[in-house]
Amino acid sequence: MLANTLVTNEVKDAAAAEVEFVRLQTEGRKTVFAKVDESPALPHRLTVSHVESGNGVRKIRRSMVRVDITSISTVDSVTPVVSSFYIVGQIPIGGLTAMTIPKNALAELTSFVATNASSTHLYDGTGTGAAALLSGSL
Size of the chain in residues: 138
pTM to 2 decimals? 0.84
Compute CA distances 45 → 1, 40, 113, whole Å.
Answer: 18, 11, 20
Segment 79-132, tens digit of pLDDT: 999 999 999 999 999 999 999 999 999 888 887 777 655 555 566 666 777 777
CB 120 within 8 A of CB 114: no
Phi, psi of 67 (to 5 degrees): -120, 130
Determine the residue type at 83: S
Domain ranges of the chain: 98-138
